[in-house]
Structure 1
Amino acid sequence: MPDTTAVPDATAVPDTTAAPDTTAAPDATALWRKLGDEGALRDLYEGPRTDPGLGLDPFALRDLLASLDAGHGLGTTLGVCVQAASALPILLGRRGRDGGTVARVAERAVAGRAVVAFAATDAGAAGSDLTALTTRVELDGDEVRLDGGKQWIVNATTADHALVLARHRPGDHFTSFTLLLVPAGRDGVGRAAAPTRFFAGSGLGELTFDGVRLDRSHVIGRPGQGLAEFARRMASERLASALWASALCRRVLSDLHERLTARTMRDRPLWEIGSVRQRFARALLEQRRLDALCESACRQGRPSPAQAMLLKAAGGETVRLVLDEAAQLHGADGFAVGGLQELRAEAAMFGIAGGTTETMLDGVADHAPELLERAS
């Protein structure tokens, strides 16, 4: 059981350390445009350290996510992260082969002039079971027709286009699925905000497709390659999740350290209380472990599927452990509007979105011999 005997009552001093200032309405679309104007997006994908397997520069991604986390709310950063680590690597990886529509949208996105949602989570299936999705595409010569729905999609309400994973034939074989690039303004496309008060600025919502007709240029790759293409780029998404988790935990702990050294109990700094220091140190230990894992992954390049699952699980677990300790040390202040408890609730997504921690740990266990061999 956690030691709470020396944890102070934090009701007296407002909590100013939990999250960046988000008093202004967040606008991920404007932020995406700004990153394009500054060349940050082009540097991410076309810089000298770009890893071909990841489709981006992992060190540039690390620095970008740390900067975004320091200056923006979690929802706004999420809106950028999903595009940068998931949608764009797929589009950019296909632009030379698919050309036309794909190449044009990819170029506009890198310039910050187009927002692209990645629509995988299906309204008709459990989020983690992509092979059970019910969104379907009919391929008929040069025309395709899309029907179905996606939910809990980042950038759904703000996107100009959506990368949509759909099935083109029955069954759960990986060749039964196709990726489409769907203009958000096309007839038959509907969208609505998600029923949540969390993730402001992320454009989180649902997309519906009712007889949406497109020409064949909107198909990414060949029919049946959708799930394989998605899996090929999953490593960059999971690396991004771990990098962002590490940056968020570092920020929270840095702010918490300042708080504990500044506040006193009976004229004694809280930082001098042994139980407080030990709880903080345990959280710092977890953050440094994650940071070391991320550094190794960035230097290595594209991680194997097993290593990517390890990164994703480590990020989710570290965020949970660090924010649990930080929330306890913040006391009652953590429940203030904009306080650490709100961040803690939102940050639970690190253990859910993109594959739950439990799913990742199952995968890690499946690949135990490989991971142990690499560690030796």
Structure 2
Amino acid sequence: MSEVVEPLRGSRPGPTARSAPAGTGSGRELWARLGAAGALRGLYQEGQPERGIVPDRLRDLIVRSEAQEGTGPLLSVCVQAATVLPLLAEAGRRGPAVGDVGRRMLDGRSVVALAATDSGPGSDLTALTTHAEETGTGTVLRGTKRWITNAVHADLLLVLARRRPGPHFTHFSWYLVPADDPRVQVEAAPSPYFTGSGTGHVHLDGVPVLADGPVGGAGRGLPLFARHIAVERLAGGLWAAAACRRALADTRDRLAEHGLWEQPAIRQRLAAALVRTRQLEALVETLGSAVAAEHDHTAAALVKAAAGETADHVLDVCAHLSGADGFAAAGMQHRRAEAALFGIAGGSTETVLASVADQAEALLPRPCGVAS
């Protein structure tokens, strides 16, 4: 059983270890509750991440968590549920240790941080400098990862690292390393946003990788990431729609309370934002199955671009209509700033629009939702 136990030496004794400061919820705590309740297994077809996520169930979880838990814990959960667990489940076919990590995650007993974004090149993964070195005792990783969700409270880090020089897509692999190894240094990201997400910067100074070698096989880092980032973009679309809807409802209630709702200019501006929100919801509903079941990258790019632009517009309207109250702690201006996530994380709006443009010739002749 050593091949199963060894990779978990980075696990911490309880699901709430290294939790957020008192008075704030953490993504680790939310993950533990969802796992213990069976809600994480319930997100996937037949409870198996390798069979794909069920969009309606993911939407329901996001809507509830967006209203009750805050953006930080929800960010923590979305990255793991949409990307980490399905990626590990696919890779688990190649090694029992990876499969055991996935099972602990499903039960809420382990948190794994997806460490892809590098120091320097940022989201340009082919330019990352974090690399694997072969030593006399095995593979070690060196480099720095920045703005990594769950880094502060993770048991394990799933690290994308370079195995060979050059930008070729086969020159990168995923590796698991224990977050509590002394050669891993983690610092919380200095930001007032996404409290509870555990976002931090990670420095790897010759940290040994866990058993089974590269996760999913050598040279499969970028193909695996490209496959599973599609579902993370779908999660972003579902989340952006939920955030816009709640912001509009809160803004409408405030306007009515202050006797401003009957002013025509205000009503029209909020109504236009509601139309955009409904359009985003319709797009996600139409394309969700293609993304979840087929990892349709073009559909995911459409959702991602629409989510970024819609959230930016709608939260800007809500923040403006909130007046001075919007600048209160955790007010609409704060929510507006956090909504910028939808246009940045998982690929900037400009990047995904470039992908949509590349497919324009194929997209234009057919209605939305019709397979190519």
User: Same fold by TM (over 0.5)?
Assistant: yes
Write the deviation string for residues 97-119 of structure 1: whole angstroms up to 9, x where unpaired.
12322011111000000001000
Question: Identical aligned pairs, as a percentage?
Answer: 49
1:205 aligns with 2:196: no
RMSD between superposed Cα atoms in Å: 2.0
Secondary structure of residue in 2 paired with 1:206: strand
Runs of 4+ in 1 over 3 A off after TM superposition: 46-52, 139-142, 299-303
| Aligned residue type for 1:364 | V
Write the deviation string for residues 315-346 of structure 1: whole angstroms up to 9, x where unpaired.
01010000111111111100111110011111
1:333 aligns with 2:334: no
Give the conservation status (yes or no) of the 8 Å contact 1:182–1:218: no
Secondary structure of residue in 2 paired with 1:271: coil
**Counterpart of 1:107?**
103
C-alpha displacement of 1:214: 2.8
Distance 2:365 2:138 in 1: 49
Distance 1:77 1:207 in 2: 21
Give the conservation status (yes or no) of the 8 Å contact 1:86–1:233: yes
Distance 1:182 1:23 in 2: 28
- Mark the runs of 5 or more structure 1 residues left unpaired by the alignment: 1-21, 265-269
Distance 2:312 2:263 in 1: 24
Give the conservation status (yes or no) of the 8 Å contact 2:154–2:179: yes
C-alpha displacement of 1:23: 9.9
Write the deviation string for residues 66-86 of structure 1: whole angstroms up to 9, x where unpaired.
111010111111111111111
C-alpha displacement of 1:26: 1.6
| Aligned residue type for 1:351 | G
- Say which of 336, 341, 345 aligns to 1:344: 336
1:323 aligns with 2:318: no
| Aligned residue type for 1:107 | R
Give the conservation status (yes or no) of the 8 Å contact 2:157–2:179: yes
1:257 aligns with 2:252: yes
Secondary structure of residue in 2 paired with 1:223: coil
| Aligned residue type for 2:265 | S
Write the deviation string for residues 31-87 of structure 1: whole angstroms up to 9, x where unpaired.
1110001100011124379784xx211111111111110101111111111111111
**Counterpart of 1:370?**
362
| Aligned residue type for 1:66 | V
- Say which of 54, 58, 61 aligns to 1:61: 58
C-alpha displacement of 1:258: 1.8
**Counterpart of 2:29?**
30
Give the conservation status (yes or no) of the 8 Å contact 1:51–1:302: no
| Aligned residue type for 2:355 | G
**Counterpart of 1:119?**
115
**Counterpart of 2:282?**
292
C-alpha displacement of 1:140: 5.7
Write the deviation string for residues 289-308 of structure 1: whole angstroms up to 9, x where unpaired.
00000111224443521111
- Mark the runs of 5 or more structure 2 residues left unpaired by the alignment: 1-20
Secondary structure of residue in 2 paired with 1:375: coil
**Counterpart of 1:15?**
none
Give the conservation status (yes or no) of the 8 Å contact 2:155–2:178: yes
| Aligned residue type for 1:276 | I
Secondary structure of residue in 2 paired with 1:247: helix
Instruction: Tell which has more relative contact order, 1 or 2 (C-alpha 8 A, sep 6+).
Output: 1
C-alpha displacement of 1:138: 2.2
| Aligned residue type for 1:31 | L
**Counterpart of 1:41?**
40
C-alpha displacement of 1:24: 3.2
Deviates more, 1:142-151 or 1:100-109: 142-151
1:110-189 to structure 2, matched below 5 A, reads 110-123=106-119, 125-139=120-134, 143-189=138-184
**Counterpart of 1:16?**
none
C-alpha displacement of 1:199: 1.2
Distance 2:294 2:65 in 1: 23
1:269-308 to structure 2, matched below 5 A, reads 270-300=260-290, 301-308=293-300
Distance 1:143 1:156 in 2: 24
| Aligned residue type for 1:286 | R
- Say which of 87, 90, 103 aligns to 1:93: 90
Residues 338, 100 of structure 1: alpha-carbon distance in 2 compared, 3 angstrom cutoff: same
- Say which of 67, 78, 99 aligns to 1:70: 67
- Per the normalisation by structure 2, the TM-score is 0.89
Residues 202, 331 of structure 1: alpha-carbon distance in 2 compared, 3 angstrom cutoff: same
